[in-house]
């Protein structure tokens, strides 16, 4: 409120202190919201949702609007199948989950690099799944081929966004993992994220 009132009695130093205090308060409020969401997901008190949408179209939409790391010229390219991955669930929560996955990979890339979002439909285990790989450009195929490892959800600057995202995917019957790319002593579990969600309706 002090900043909005444009109080001339505030010095530049005091104004900066108020700005930092406002940012800290906003982060605390955000963290409380994340803790509440995590608790609700763990307790099973959230609605499963009944939205029907094409996951591949949602992923393309998110990739087109992503802002993370654009100032470092990190580009995002969407590849693979562009339609046919219809799922039913909570559109809002899945949107937030994939936005968190994008952010996690993008912020860890070097400047002037490229991240690929690849999409394919995979059959096996008696059901059909939509698979999305978010990876540095050179590791896309390796991410498909590599054995799945535990999802690396503790990443700097992400707060609780990734633990929440993993739970959202699992609540929809899916899986998220970090592929173990490379030899054991040079494996890079943070190079890519793979998400698999079951398709709720048969392809027509």
**Domain identity same for 81 and 163:** yes
- Rounded mean pLDDT for each run of 10 residues along the chain, 204 residues in total: 57 76 70 68 77 95 88 92 92 95 92 94 82 94 91 85 94 93 60 91 50
- 175 Cβ partners below 8 Å, 6+ apart? 148, 169, 195, 196
**Domain identity same for 189 and 93:** yes
Predicted local confidence at residue 203, as pLDDT: 44
Q: Is residue 12 part of a domain?
A: yes
Could you tell me the residue range of the domain that residue 110 belongs to? 48-198
Secondary structure (DSSP) of 173-194? T-EEEEE--S-TTT--TTSEEE
Is the distance from CB of 180 to CB of 156 less than 8 angstroms? no
**Domain identity same for 127 and 38:** no
- Neighbour-count burial of 58, counting CB atoms closer than 10 A to its CB (0-12 exposed, 13-18 middle, 19+ buried): middle
**Domain identity same for 70 and 112:** yes
Q: Among residues 91, 86, 66, which one has the least CA distance to residue 76?
A: 66
Q: Is residue 163 part of a domain?
A: yes
Q: What CA–CA distance (Å, rounded) separates 190 from 155?
A: 9
- 56 Cβ partners below 8 Å, 6+ apart? 80, 81, 82, 83, 84, 85, 119, 130, 132
pLDDT tens-place string over residues 130-171? 999 999 999 999 999 999 999 988 887 888 899 999 999 999
Q: SS3 of 148, please?
A: strand
**Domain identity same for 155 and 55:** yes
**Domain identity same for 106 and 13:** no
**Domain identity same for 38 and 56:** no
Q: What CA–CA distance (Å, rounded) separates 55 from 88?
A: 9
Instruction: Provide the token pair at 38.
Output: 């995590």
101's enclosing H/E stretch is helix 91-106
Q: Is residue 203 part of a domain?
A: no
**Domain identity same for 40 and 52:** no
**Domain identity same for 98 and 120:** yes
**Domain identity same for 28 and 75:** no
User: For helices 91-106 and 55-65, what crossing angle results, to 10°?
Assistant: 50
């Amino acid at each position: 409120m002090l900043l909005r009132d444009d109080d001339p009695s505030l010095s530049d130093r005091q104004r900066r202190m108020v700005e930092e205090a406002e940012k800290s308060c906003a982060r605390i409020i955000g963290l409380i919201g994340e803790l509440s969401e995590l608790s609700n997901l763990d307790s099973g008190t959230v609605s499963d949702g009944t939205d029907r949408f094409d996951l591949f179209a949602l992923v393309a939409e998110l990739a087109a609007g992503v802002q993370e790391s654009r100032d470092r010229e990190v580009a995002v390219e969407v590849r693979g199948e562009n339609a046919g991955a219809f799922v039913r669930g909570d559109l809002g929560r899945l949107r937030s989950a994939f936005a968190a996955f994008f952010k996690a990979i993008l912020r860890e890339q070097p400047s002037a690099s490229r991240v690929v979002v690849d999409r394919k439909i995979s059959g096996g285990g008696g059901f059909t799944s939509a698979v999305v790989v978010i990876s540095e450009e050179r590791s896309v195929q390796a991410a498909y081929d590599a054995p799945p490892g535990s999802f690396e959800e503790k990443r700097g600057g992400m707060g609780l966004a990734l633990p929440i995202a993993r739970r959202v995917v699992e609540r929809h019957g899916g899986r998220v993992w970090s592929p173990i790319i490379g030899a054991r002593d040079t494996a890079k579990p943070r190079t890519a994220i793979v998400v698999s969600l079951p398709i709720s309706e048969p392809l027509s």
